[in-house]
Structure 1
Amino acid sequence: MRPTLSYQLRRLRSRLHRMRIALAVRGWRGLLARVFGPGPTDATESGAAPALPAAMPPQPQAAATRRWLLVDVTTPRPDRDSGSLRSWNLMRLLRAQGHQVDFLPDDGADAGHYTAALRALGVTVHAGAGSLARWFGRHLADYDVLVVSRYHLAESLLPLARATAPGVRVVLDTVDLHHLREQREAELRAHPGLLRLARTTRQRELAMVAAADMAWVVSPVEAALLREAIPGACVALLPNILEPLASPRGYAGRSGLLFVGGARHPPNVDAVEWLVREIFPLVRARLPDCELHLAGDGLAALAVAREGAPGVVVHDHVPDLAPLLGRCRFGLAPLRYGAGVKGKVNMYMAHGLPVVATPSAAEGTFLEHGRDVLLAADAAGLADAVVEASRDPALWQRLAANGLANVHEHFSFDTARRAVDGILETLR
């Protein structure tokens, strides 16, 4: 079968599987909104351009610079989701080390301000490239490393890469393990249909991990899972990448709770509903002046956000979260399911904000209850943790300091640089 035809058939099968999952999770109305509804817009259209991370100062030159091509569903929007921020910061790091970095959006779209800012980093963005099958045939052999984000893109692009440029090393960036997230949601909702689909996702995702030269994960939990499932697979840990503040604001002058997360990610929607309807009322009963700030793309459209619960302030998308992160007292992550490492948890801690979270939200973050984070699995426990630490400045300060130290140790640019050096050594 010709590579182009094989690519198109694989792409179609992948899209159909993803649509079946969306239908199981969201229903017909949610599926149609996801397929035909508007995606994130370029903030410059409203006159509020996001403050995007700029190029890094030159770093120590890599021992051997490489030509990298990164492919994702769309151009990263680092002010909107943690996966985009990780990808953006990875490209910043690679450029600072002297690597050639190109980015190819699968949707082919020019993302306006985001595309321009990415090019300002020195990244060559191939927006409007047309057919990826033809583009790969003409250009892929010019690169040393191809990084494909998410298994469902790899299903069509990895075989195409093998056929058109067999000398290129292919990396699957899992971002998070999709089948694990789907399985956990199915178990939470007792949804047999979604559980069957999650098993299919597992087969497809593991097949892509096995077929790639290397798979990246953000969580040590997922690294262990893949190594057990596929003993011969090459799996590397490439964590979320953040810049922790040098001197974040202390306890005094802070108030309120903050939840960050976009509504296009089902675990965030579930968390917001649980937070507003069950957890926050318990906090508010004991701290009557406390406010809950909800920040994330699409949150204002949720029914629970429109109900006008006392003390709940809905911001929807916020291009620059720094002011909220600097004035709120706690970052909340009441996620009941998910996978990977939760970027909101890392971001809170990087800004000196203590975190109250579920064990699911803290997975893979190296955090310990009572030392760096307060953990609870039910609404009452989460509310108790917020109230306890609100009334104990010494506990608040210990959590803030240890959380910041956690980011320095596990999620900083220095950590990512060491990970990239190890990855390059393995891919030689």
Structure 2
Amino acid sequence: MGILKKIKKHFERKEKLKYLQSKDIVNINLYDASQKTILFASRDFPAHDKESGANRLKELIFIYKELGYNCIIFAPHMFEDDSYVKFYQQRNVIIYIENTKYRNIYDFLSSFKKIDYVWFNGPLALNLFYKKMKAVLSSAKFIYDMVDIHFLRFKRAIELEPTRISLKKNYKHFFRLETVVAPQLDYIIAISDKEKAIMSQYADKNKIITVSNIHYPKIDISERKSFSESKGITFIGSIHEPNIDAVKFLYEKIMPIVWKTNPELEVSIIGNVAEKLDLKLFPKFKFLGFVESIEEHFMNSRIMVAPLRFGAGVKGKIGQAFEYFLPVITTDIGAEGMRLANHKNVLIANDENSFAQAILQLNNDEELWNTLSQNSIDSLKPFSIESVSSTLKKI
């Protein structure tokens, strides 16, 4: 953050502090000293309905609540009137919000007799908060949740764009964080067994634990709109580079092949990925932006596509599709870490020609569509709340 932005934020904070309804931390009365306490530290507050990683964090917090923990969330610059703050407060989670009682988060944490665990949500949180929190909470156990291996994501991006200097800088930055700093913590959370194996090259494998995404059916399969009742293609994504590239790849390379055979096939793009695109260059795509509920769109769509050419981790968009029994076409990168079989759980295609043919096939083959839709139940099994809860109990 530049110096001018820091100054602006400082004065904005001072102004907002004048009008606080509560001078203390709302929900602090819920703290039970007889229970274990876990602090979740994140660079950005988890907007669970906008980004799959934030939704995963929400589910993890709720699991810890069910296990009887005091749960505290901290992200910078959060005020009591924020809708996401209220969402968690209504579910009995303690949120560190801007207040006049404590100078900062570290002053607040010093007021506790004991914090048992600190969970860093991603490398940005690790980079920003680990050093100071380690000094303040010397007896706590520190957990680094990778979300995905960021240096791997940038390594793969460099393979596609080897001349981009920014990718190389990011690769070096995240490689140091994830292979030098992260191994200093008590636990590293990998998103898949594959990423656990990669991280075992840099850290003690005994401190690396796999905690994947959390998914479960959001509807009964009987409620799913049938092949004949659904139509069109859906892609969902936030402003991450792999999603931006996927939309471009879909529009420029894949769909021109599809449209030669089926010029009427519509493509809808959900999510704020549109904010990073010049929409004039994509006149045949329907950009919906953020939607309050994905259910209507997933129920009406016939196919979910995820033509990801780089990235890392387990892709939440694919798990979301399974939650609504929506058949998926993706790449090896998209299916990575999810234990998915081609033509059983998903269709996998890695170049524009095979991806286009997969779209045309699935759009016309009701039997194949039904197979993929019905197998969504099996696709979701590794990502159940029960499975993740069992793992977290071992930490």
- Give the TM-score normalised by the residue count of structure 1: 0.79
Shift, 1:301, TM fit:
5.9
Q: 1:289 — aligned with what? A: 264
Shift, 1:269, TM fit:
0.8
Where does 1:67-216 land on structure 2 (aligned, <5 Å)? 67-110=37-80, 112-128=82-98, 131-139=104-112, 141-191=113-163, 193=165, 194-195=167-168, 197-216=170-189
Tell me, in whole angstroms, the C-alpha distance in 1 between the residues paired with 2:163 and 2:125.
Answer: 26
Shift, 1:128, TM fit:
1.1
Letter in 2 for 1:195: K
Structure 1 pair 183/71, CA: closer, same or farther in 2 (3 Å)? same
Shift, 1:283, TM fit:
1.7
Instruction: Extract unaligned runs of 5+ from structure 2.
Output: 9-33
Tell me, in whole angstroms, the C-alpha distance in 2 between the residues paired with 1:171 and 1:363.
Answer: 24
SS of aligned partner of 2:201? helix
From 338, 346, 349, give the equivalent of 2:319. Answer: 346
Structure 1 pair 98/137, CA: closer, same or farther in 2 (3 Å)? closer
Identity in percent: 23
Where does 1:16-415 land on structure 2 (aligned, <5 Å)? 66-110=36-80, 112-128=82-98, 131-139=104-112, 141-191=113-163, 193=165, 194-195=167-168, 197-231=170-204, 234-244=207-217, 245-247=219-221, 248-263=224-239, 265-299=240-274, 302-303=277-278, 305-307=279-281, 309-310=283-284, 312-407=285-380, 409-415=381-387
Cα deviations across residues 57-115 of structure 1 (Å, max 9, x unaligned)?
A: xxxxxxx9521111111221111111100011111222233222111113444572111
Shift, 1:152, TM fit:
3.0
Moved more, 312-321 or 97-106: 97-106
Letter in 2 for 1:309: P
The Cα RMSD (Å) is 2.3
Tell me, in whole angstroms, the C-alpha distance in 2 between the residues paired with 1:160 and 1:179.
Answer: 24
Moved more, 395-404 or 329-338: 395-404
Instruction: Extract unaligned runs of 5+ from structure 1.
Output: 1-14, 17-31, 37-63, 424-428
Structure 1 pair 385/198, CA: closer, same or farther in 2 (3 Å)? same
Contact 1:176/1:340 (8 A) holds in 2: yes
Q: 2:11 — aligned with what? A: none
Cα deviations across residues 384-413 of structure 1 (Å, max 9, x unaligned)?
A: 001111111111111112233211x11121
Contact 1:209/1:233 (8 A) holds in 2: no
Structure 1 pair 133/101, CA: closer, same or farther in 2 (3 Å)? closer
Tell me, in whole angstroms, the C-alpha distance in 1 between the residues paired with 2:333 and 2:276.
Answer: 26
Contact 1:300/1:314 (8 A) holds in 2: no
SS of aligned partner of 1:74? coil
Letter in 1 for 2:232: G
Contact 2:243/2:273 (8 A) holds in 1: no
Structure 1 pair 182/163, CA: closer, same or farther in 2 (3 Å)? same
Tell me, in whole angstroms, the C-alpha distance in 2 between the residues paired with 1:232 and 1:372.
Answer: 30
Letter in 1 for 2:348: L
Tell me, in whole angstroms, the C-alpha distance in 2 between the residues paired with 1:132 and 1:154.
Answer: 15
Tell me, in whole angstroms, the C-alpha distance in 2 between the residues paired with 1:298 and 1:68.
Answer: 32
Letter in 1 for 2:262: L
Moved more, 247-256 or 390-399: 247-256
Moved more, 283-292 or 177-186: 283-292
Structure 1 pair 232/363, CA: closer, same or farther in 2 (3 Å)? closer
Tell me, in whole angstroms, the C-alpha distance in 1 between the residues paired with 2:292 and 2:374.
Answer: 26
Cα deviations across residues 132-191 of structure 1 (Å, max 9, x unaligned)?
A: 33333334x532111111223223422323322221111111111111111111121013
Tell me, in whole angstroms, the C-alpha distance in 2 between the residues paired with 1:133 and 1:385.
Answer: 53
Tell me, in whole angstroms, the C-alpha distance in 2 between the residues paired with 1:232 and 1:412.
Answer: 24
Letter in 2 for 1:120: Q
Contact 1:333/1:356 (8 A) holds in 2: yes
- Give the TM-score normalised by the residue count of structure 2: 0.85
Letter in 2 for 1:401: Q
